[in-house]
């Protein structure tokens, strides 16, 4: 489980509830208690909005990363950034993973990951500019495009010196995609899993869930968990989430049904 921690005043989901550093740190403590193995700290919301410079982004995340690192030595700390400058600063502060949600918009980010021995998440965005919404974007085959782009990015990271076991691919639901694209990626996620690269999915409260069910952000948990179950059955390995406990239960149940995990307790008919 990768738990989302927003150091932004304008997050689409929590509306700035963890904008203050102490609130963000409390969120880290809460999700660690819930069993999250990774926290993903972000300093800029993905949607269009106020321009945030690299300097401002660093002010939002670097000190928090250092504080979390000091308090949780074994926790995997991810930072959601596409900027190499920010990546270098957070890695120096103790981050383990760079979550590039914008598909290699800054080509030097892989070099930063390699230099610091960090992991990297390689996403597919269809080449859209960071912090812009897709407009009438079209693909001949969205899954083929996602595979081609993420595998190419993964291979570039490997060539730059990032360890193979530290490279993850992500189809990036909603990013550079309309709802039909995100639904197709979900339905065919097994094709990405079959590449051999570990797959991360970020489904939590996304617009494709809201549009499918015609529900606002605060009412998308059930739809999110349904999409999570489909991705879990396909073999996704990492789940970037707002709701850790509920997602863990869904993934554990699906993986047990799939025969990848034993039940925690199985005495029915035996005792």
Give the residue numbers annotated as catalytic, written as ranges: 206, 240
> Which of 3, 5, 10, 12 is CA-nearest to residue 210?
12
Q: Which two tokens stand for residue 209?
A: 């869930």
Q: Which two tokens stand for residue 11?
A: 């997050």
CA atoms of 150 and 169, how far apart (whole Å): 6
Handedness of CA 217, 222, 223, 224 (dihedral sign): positive
Helix ranges, the chain (H): 21-34, 54-71, 84-93, 109-116, 142-160, 179-187, 189-193, 207-213, 221-234, 244-257
Q: Are 171 and 200 in contact (CB under 8 A)?
A: no
> Which of 197, 210, 191, 208 is CA-nearest to residue 157?
197
CA atoms of 129 and 126, how far apart (whole Å): 9
């Amino acid at each position: 489980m990768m738990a989302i921690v927003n150091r932004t005043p304008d997050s689409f989901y929590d509306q700035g509830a963890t904008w203050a550093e102490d609130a963000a740190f409390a969120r880290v403590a809460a999700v660690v208690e819930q069993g999250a193995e990774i926290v993903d700290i972000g300093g800029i919301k993905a949607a269009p909005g106020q321009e945030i410079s690299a300097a401002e982004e660093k002010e939002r995340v670097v000190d928090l990363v250092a504080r979390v690192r000091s308090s949780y030595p074994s926790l995997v700390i991810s930072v959601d950034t596409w900027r190499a400058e920010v990546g270098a600063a957070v890695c120096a502060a103790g981050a383990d993973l760079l979550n590039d949600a914008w598909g290699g918009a800054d080509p030097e980010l892989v070099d930063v990951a390699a230099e610091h021995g960090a992991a990297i998440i390689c996403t597919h965005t269809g080449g859209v500019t960071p912090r812009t919404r897709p407009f009438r974007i079209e693909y001949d085959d969205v899954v083929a495009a996602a595979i081609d782009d993420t595998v190419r990015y993964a291979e570039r990271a490997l060539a730059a010196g990032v360890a193979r076991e530290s490279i993850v691919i992500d189809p990036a639901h909603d990013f550079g995609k309309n709802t039909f694209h995100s639904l197709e990626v979900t339905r065919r996620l097994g094709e990405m899993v079959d590449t051999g690269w570990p797959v991360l999915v970020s489904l939590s409260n996304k617009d494709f869930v809201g549009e499918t069910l015609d529900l606002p952000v605060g009412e998308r948990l059930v739809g999110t968990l349904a999409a999570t179950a489909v991705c879990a059955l396909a073999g996704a390995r990492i789940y970037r989430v707002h709701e850790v406990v509920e997602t863990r239960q869904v993934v554990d149940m699906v993986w047990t049904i799939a025969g990848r995990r034993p039940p925690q307790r199985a005495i029915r008919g035996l005792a």
